Amino acid sequence: MAKVISIEEAVDLIKDGMTIMVAGFWGVGTPEKLIDALVAKGTKNLTSISISTALTTKGVGKLVANRQLKKVIVSYIGRNPATSEQYESGDLEVEFVPQGTLAERIRAGGFGLGGILTPTGVGTEIEQGKQRITVDGRDYLLEKPLRADVALIKAYKADKAGNLVYRKAARNTNPLMAAAADITIVQADEILEIGEIDPDEVMTPGIFVDYLVQG
């Protein structure tokens, strides 16, 4: 059961020091209105999990530019000079995670797995501090689950039961992150009544969703 709240109420759920997941790929599939409200509020010392830090004017990148983050867990920070600058000055911690591993770690966090074994990164720098496990003669890294206090999700359609539908390339990390946070907040282009989304069409079941915000 999802509760429809205002954008202000939504960002009030995010407290200083929390870990957030922000869905999207170069801002496509990112709930920009929620990000803007979070920028306006100025919540600090956040850790953010996302594919990239996008641009200084898009997605998570706005939070970087506004110096609200102490750490980012990402696969890519190119195209956002604010991230590089704060990373080099030591103001921002950056944990690089291969994109496929990031997706699986988030999924594992949402789905109660203690981790996954991936061949990605074996023998590279990102193996540091990780357990290498051999299964049937091939080497894998044990990668641990990721969870967040709050996930910020962008849907195309939502119903009041919290069921979500995404559109085109805006799906990306949304279905994964929606399941992997204690509180899942969705900015939806359209909020429909219960029953207005065909149960076969749902991409994220309402069971994962806590709050809806009109996009």
Partner 1 sequence: MDAKDVFIAKRVAQEFKDGDFVNLGIGIPTLVGNYIPKGVRVFFHSENGFTHIGPMPNSEEDIDRELINASDQYVTILPGGAFFDSAVSFGIIRGGHLAATVLGGLQVDQEGNLANWRMPGKKTVGMGGGMDLAVGAKRVIIAMEHTNKGEPKIVKKCNVPLTGLKCVDLIVTEMAVMAVTEKGLVLKEIAPGVTVDQVRAATEAEFTVDPDLKIISVE
Dmax over CA atoms of the chain, in Å, equals 53
Contact call for residue 98 and a copy of itself (CB under 8 A): no
Closest by CA position to 151, among listed 110, 200, 196: 110
List the Cα angle 118/148/199 in 5-degree steps.
85
Candidate residues 18, 64, 65, 161; the one interacting with partner 1 per rule CB under 8 A: 161
- Residue 143 binds partner 1 (CB under 8 A): no
Which of a copy of itself, partner 1, none has residue 15 at its interface (CB below 5 to 8 Å by kind)? none
Site for a copy of itself in 162-191 (CB under 8 A): 165-168
In angstroms, the CA 82 to CA 84 distance is 6
- Among 89, 125, 135, 136, contact with partner 1 (rule: CB under 8 A): 125
Q: Which of these, 149, 146, 161, 153, lies nearest to 192 by C-alpha position?
A: 161
Q: Helix, strand, or coil here: 99?
A: helix
The rounded distance, in Å, linking the Cα atoms of 35 and 153 is: 10
Count of residues in contact with partner 1, rule CB under 8 A: 66
- Residue of the chain from 5, 13, 116, 183 that contacts a copy of itself (CB under 8 A): 116
Q: Whose Cβ is closer to a copy of itself: residue 58's or residue 105's?
A: 105
Strands 19-22 and 46-49: parallel
Enumerate binding residues for partner 1 (CB under 8 A). 1, 25-26, 28-29, 51-52, 74-79, 84, 87-88, 96, 98-104, 106-107, 110-113, 118-126, 156, 159-161, 163, 166-176, 179, 194-195, 199-200, 202-203, 205-208
